Amino acid sequence: MTILLTRTLYVFSFAAFSLLMLLPSTVSGAAREKKQLTLQECVEIALVNSSTVKKAEHTVRLQGSDLLKSYGQFLPKLSVSAGYTPVSLARTYSDPSTRLIAKTKTERVDLALTTSLNLFNGLQDYASLQAAIRRHDAAGLSLSRARQIIIYDVTQAYYQVLLNRELLKIARENFSSSRDQLQLTKRQYEIGIKPVTDFYQQQAETANSELTVIKTENDLRQSRLELLRRLRLNPADEITAADILVDSLLNLPPDLDRDSLVSQGLANRKDLQSSMLSANAAKWDVTRAAAQWYPKLDLTFNLNTGGYPYYTTTAADVPPSSYAYPPLSDQISDLISYSLSLSLSWSIFDGFLTRYNVEQAKINYLNQGLDAADLEHDIAIDIQLAVDNYGAAFTQIETAKQGLKAAEKAYETVKKKYDLGAASFVEANAARAALVGARAEYSQATYNLALQKNIVDFATGGVSID
């Protein structure tokens, strides 16, 4: 009797401890889930907060300024200068034989306007403009691809949260069922239907189920934090992913045309288009570097004027004399002078500097061409892998569905036998484990299909950024 009472107290303590371990996590988890976000809301938040997107936007802005600068090279340069000399004192010999010195004190205002236009510089400005246009377009395409990467990454993290939450639900249901089975086994043991070994084994199985719950709870917390990382939200914020209809994931097309998707990917991938434009811009850089071998022709126009508000001359033994200049405004308008000139310059030898710059530009062009070719090859491979994995995901779902049906029937049959004493605990536990595993496999297969479809869209450049 004492032994039986001790065992009863042990079982009651274990069950109570299990409930206490489960309830805080459930309640606290519910309390923390304050903000429910849909996939679209997560994507919008990530696009606003992503530093990668902001950097790409900054690059587009910089390339826009570079493009404006390249256009400006075709316009004449214009500069205006003004000078004011409040006091200028000059000493000269009024009579060198007697070494008499004359002093001249002046105040002067000077104005000048200069404009110049390059007529020819070996197509350097034209090549710079063409390169700037392509780099600006490439930066815009890189921005679009950066947004697609954010959408892809957030979608993957979002579905991972949903999957981990589904696995936690399965683990909790299994734990609840295991606890109920523990209570039933306890009663059966007390009345002599089940041996004590079944009771102990069921205790161990219940503890195992609880450990699985703890592990899946931790996996769910980690996946939520990873989603927060991608959204760039405060780690203290508690969010939860809104549920989606799982059946909608099963309505995806089972077959994909690989060749068509490869062609689509090569045509739509923004990063490939950006890489090709960058390579083309590098080709124009070769022309720009080679322009130093050619002469440069500039047309320059100068316009200047000035005047003396104050002008006096003083010589030895001679009273100071002041020149009666017209008003300063009249001097400035009357004394306007201008010049128009053509200047030709040609660097005959610069120590092979131009040759080096041309070779450097050529190597850069060749390397960027290789990068574009490698990317094109990788895109084709990535799409083929994504299509194969997508097809395998459909097969996995069908297999998991059949396995789940078989596991459910097997568990029902074995459980009835076990309750009647016609099956061993090992058989019952194996059937339960097979059922839990089949449910988890089916959930993983379902969300894996959604993940694989997201990968296909990303590989083909079909991720919508609207």
Cα–Cα distance for residue pair 305/170, rounded to 1 Å: 91
Average pLDDT over residues 130-146: 96
Cα–Cα distance for residue pair 95/102, rounded to 1 Å: 9
For residue 344, the SS3 value is strand
Average pLDDT over residues 178-191: 82
**191 burial level (CB within 10 Å; 0-12, 13-18, 19+):** exposed
pLDDT at 360 over 60: yes
Contact status, residue 320 vs residue 312, Cβ threshold 8 Å: yes
Average pLDDT over residues 336-342: 95
Tell me how far the alpha carbon of residue 384 is from its chain's centroid.
24
Residue owning tokens 């090569």: 266
**452 burial level (CB within 10 Å; 0-12, 13-18, 19+):** buried
Q: Tell me the DSSP string of 402-456.
A: HHHHHHHHHHHHHHHHHHTTSS-HHHHHHHHHHHHHHHHHHHHHHHHHHHHHHHH
pLDDT at 155 over 50: yes
Cα–Cα distance for residue pair 149/141, rounded to 1 Å: 12
Q: What is the pLDDT of residue 316?
A: 55
**163 burial level (CB within 10 Å; 0-12, 13-18, 19+):** buried
pLDDT at 18 over 80: no
Q: What is the pLDDT of residue 279?
A: 97
Q: What is the pLDDT of residue 17?
A: 41
Domains of the chain, each with CATH number or no CATH? 2-75+122-294+350-459 (1.20.1600.10), 77-120+296-345 (no CATH)
Model pTM score: 0.80
Averaged pLDDT score across all residues of the chain? 86
pLDDT digit string, tens, across residues 71-101: 999 999 999 999 999 999 888 877 777 777 8
Q: What are phi and psi of 94, to 5 degrees?
A: -75, -30
Question: Between 189 and 12, whose confidence is greater?
Answer: 189
pLDDT digit string, tens, across residues 407-457: 888 888 888 887 777 777 777 778 888 888 888 888 888 888 889 999 999
Confidence of residue 319 (pLDDT cuts 50, 70, 90): low
Least confident stretch, 25-34, 55-64, 187-196, 262-271? 25-34
Average pLDDT over residues 372-394: 94
Cα–Cα distance for residue pair 2/340, rounded to 1 Å: 120
pLDDT at 383 over 90: yes
Cα–Cα distance for residue pair 92/18, rounded to 1 Å: 111
